[in-house]
Amino acid sequence: MRLFRLLYIIYIALRFGLDEFILAQDKFNPWQTLINGVFFWRNKSQPRALRLRLALETLGPIFVKFGQMLSTRRDLIPLDLADELAKLQDQVPPFAFAEVDKIILATYQMPLNQVFASFDETAVASASVAQVHFAELLDGTPVAVKVLRPGIANVIGHDIALLDTAAWLLQALSAEVRRLKPREVVAEFAEHTHSELDLTLEAANCTKLAANFPDKKLLVPEVHWDWCRQQVMVMQRMHGTPISKMALLREQGIDIAKLAHDGVEIFFTQVFRDGFFHADMHPGNILVANSGPDKGKYIALDFGIMGTLSDNDKYYLARNFLAFFNRDYRDVALAHIESGWVPQDTNVDALETAVRAICEPIFNKPLKDISFGRTLLSLFQMSRKFGVVIQPQLVMLQKTLLNIEGLGRDLDPNIDLWQSAKPFLKRWMSEQIGWRSIAKKLRKELPYMAKTLPEMPRLLHAYLRQQSLVEQDQSLHATLTKLIATQQQQALWQKRVCISIALLASLEILIFLSTFWPLTH
């Protein structure tokens, strides 16, 4: 099955003429000529960007998501490709309404008109895994209904299996690739992707993210749990302008510079304060409220892929960021060693120098003047030299950073990412290791302390009594040990005395017998 899927991928790539992306160099001319001769019937008159988008749509959701990520990296790919791939964010061809009707019937065991007062048959958004329709509940509440694509679980399962096979092959053939832990990376990606196939999990993610922002700094739709099932999710209908429509946002009076800075703060809040972040932040999943008291605030959509970080991950990430901001490259090197991201025997001085050479050129520059493509290449070369171990749990964070960077570049090319994030990270680190951390932990433990405080005298008495018994046991044990030692010593002397008496008795007997049998007899 995997072999057939691989062959199909190669066929689709050749059918849409994607070989020109790989074989454009002169040294590949013979291969290009051969392929053009075999596939003489294909039509390559369409622009290359359109053919790439169509090929990714044909190959399915995994490849659509890859295209979504690429569309945010205008600094890495040509603009024609970025513009066309941006259509993958919410313009994937929808599946037929007849299929939606079947899914609704199978999910609720009742026809659609007994669940919703009205239901728009035209999808308002269609993505790689599901599509969204506007509707009204029977009580008139306007909602958005998300429905999984039929048969999507099998398609994703096959593609993940193919990726795992490719990762296994690369890992077996190359020690360099093995260091990057490709199978673990695929497993991490698979875990997050499979979570998208159960919309009750997405509803739970949505609820948790909303609870993390009670101040409404980030707007998250309310979930209508009574109508949420594995294949269908019903949530509050949100009104806003897509973040990608910059001209319209300006016409609506939205402060674009403030929007850019708010986005940085929201991202770092999710990562470092909560350790729970939206890991699919492409422009198709972000709206901006354009009216009312929440005008100018971000609206988050699509919560199928969420990232989590442990306290240890958060600490070392924040330490690395702050060290970068302060140009303390030695602390960056030490943080990498202490966290286990590089071997313990790594030369700290050499690692510090390598990090300095990579990061120093990008400071005090706006995003538009920074070549992150070159920086990433340099970091990869450094990681290969120093044996940096890829952390699979950070893969989603790395992907989100790419999306945030692309979004920030579109909103405000002059934004200084470092200066926007530095005050937030300083405050966060103070809360983790300063007096704020002590106060926070005391507040957290206060309910437990209040509960156990009345019991403290009894607990203290029990503890002292136990200690007294232990001391008595220790004293008794010491006494017994001493008695046993004394008894053993006495037994030893008794044994020696008995042996001595026996020897003396034997000697006397010999002397007595010698008087009757003289030796000269």
CA angle 90, 95, 101 (to 5 degrees): 120
Q: What pLDDT score was predicted for residue 448?
A: 62
What tokens does 310 get?
């442990």
pLDDT, tens only, 276-297: 999 887 777 899 999 999 999 9
Look at 179-188, 223-232, 318-327, 498-507 and tell me which has the smallest mean pLDDT.
Answer: 498-507
Q: What pLDDT score was predicted for residue 458?
A: 66
Q: Residue 254 pLDDT more than 80?
A: yes
| Residue 402 within a domain | yes
End residue of a domain, out of 457, 477, 497: 457
**Which residue range(s) make up the domain with 271?**
239-457
pLDDT, tens only, 66-124: 777 677 666 557 778 888 887 776 567 889 999 999 999 999 999 999 999 999 999 99
Whole-number Å distance between alpha carbons of 157 and 190: 9
| Residue 424 within a domain | yes
End residue of a domain, out of 406, 422, 457: 457
Q: Which of 302, 198, 187, 161 is nearest to 242 (CA)?
A: 302
In b/e form, how buried is each residue of 318-348, taking b as 16+ CB within 10 angstroms?
bbbbbbbbeeebebbbbbbbebebbeeebee
Backbone angles phi, psi at 277, to 5 degrees: -135, 150
Q: What pLDDT score was predicted for residue 517?
A: 47
| Residue 153 within a domain | no
Return the bridge partners of 277, or none.
307
| Residue 317 within a domain | yes
Q: Residue 6 pLDDT more than 70?
A: yes
Radius of gyration of the chain (CA): 36
| Residue 299 within a domain | yes
- Please report which helix (H) or strand (E) contains residue 276, including its range: strand 276-278
Q: Which of 293, 338, 305, 302 is nearest to 319 (CA)?
A: 338
pLDDT, tens only, 119-161: 999 999 888 789 999 999 999 999 999 999 998 888 888 778 8
* Residue found under tokens 């849409």: 16
| Residue 198 within a domain | no
373 contacts: CB under 8 Å, gap ≥ 6: 75, 76
Q: What confidence tier does 512 reach under pLDDT thresholds 50, 70, 90?
A: very low
Return the bridge partners of 147, or none.
131, 232
Q: What confidence tier does 477 reach under pLDDT thresholds 50, 70, 90?
A: low
End residue of a domain, out of 58, 89, 120: 89
Q: What's the whole-number mean pLDDT along residues 488-494?
A: 60
Backbone angles phi, psi at 128, to 5 degrees: -70, -30
Whole-number Å distance between alpha carbons of 127 and 156: 14
| Residue 274 within a domain | yes
Backbone angles phi, psi at 306, to 5 degrees: -125, 145
* Residue found under tokens 């096979």: 165
- Most confident region among 61-65, 181-185, 389-393, 504-508 by mean pLDDT: 61-65
What tokens does 410 get?
């579109």
* Residue found under tokens 């958005």: 144
Q: Which of 236, 238, 237, 234 is nearest to 103 (CA)?
A: 234
Look at 132-141, 185-194, 202-211 and tell me which has the smallest mean pLDDT.
Answer: 185-194
Look at 56-65, 243-252, 302-311, 417-426 and tell me which has the smallest mean pLDDT.
Answer: 417-426
Q: What pLDDT score was predicted for residue 237?
A: 96
**For residues 267, 269, 271 and 277, what is the CA-based torsion angle, rounded to 10 degrees?**
-60
What tokens does 258 get?
């403030």
Whole-number Å distance between alpha carbons of 394 and 391: 6
Backbone angles phi, psi at 223, to 5 degrees: -95, 135
Whole-number Å distance between alpha carbons of 13 and 34: 15
Give catalytic residue positions. Answer: 280
Specify the higher pLDDT residue, 207 or 273. Answer: 207
3-state helix, strand, coil in the chain (%, to 5): 65, 10, 25
Q: What pLDDT score was predicted for residue 516?
A: 46
Whole-number Å distance between alpha carbons of 397 and 275: 10
| Residue 445 within a domain | yes
What tokens does 242 get?
């897509």
Look at 107-111, 233-237, 289-293, 373-377 and tell me which has the smallest mean pLDDT.
Answer: 373-377
Q: Indicate the number of domains in the chain.
A: 2
